[in-house]
């Protein structure tokens, strides 16, 4: 089963979740290991994240349900 990050969660929801947690874009990017410029483009709907990066971001911004759906799709080394 393949999941496209855009279909898993839309970009404005990522931004809203990050902001609801009171995190700056740079802090969320740093903590999840994503380039801040790339995350900015993801939030604007211009780029997508890999499953692994989306999982890390979901963990950082407390999107527990999304993280639990993504975790079985990760390679064992990441999960």
Question: Can you spell out the DSSP letters for 29-58?
Answer: HHHHT--HHHHHHHHTTS----HHHHHHHH
Mean pLDDT for back-to-back runs of 10 residues, the chain (79 residues): 49 90 98 98 94 96 95 82
**pLDDT at position 4:** 52
Determine the Cα–Cα distance for residues 27 and 41; give it in Å rounded to an integer. 15
Determine the Cα–Cα distance for residues 71 and 59; give it in Å rounded to an integer. 10
**Sign of the CA dihedral with 30 first, then 50, 67, and 8 last:** positive
**pLDDT at position 1:** 39
**Token digits of residue 58:** 């979901």
3-state SS class at 62: coil
Q: What is the pTM of this model?
A: 0.83
């Amino acid at each position: 089963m393949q999941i496209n990050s855009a279909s898993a969660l839309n970009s404005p929801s990522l931004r809203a979740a990050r902001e609801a947690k009171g995190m700056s874009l740079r802090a969320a990017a740093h903590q999840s290991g994503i380039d801040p410029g790339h995350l900015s483009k993801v939030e604007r709907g211009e780029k997508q994240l890999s499953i692994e990066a989306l999982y890390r971001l979901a963990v950082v911004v407390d999107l527990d349900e999304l993280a639990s759906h993504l975790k079985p799709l990760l390679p064992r080394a990441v999960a």
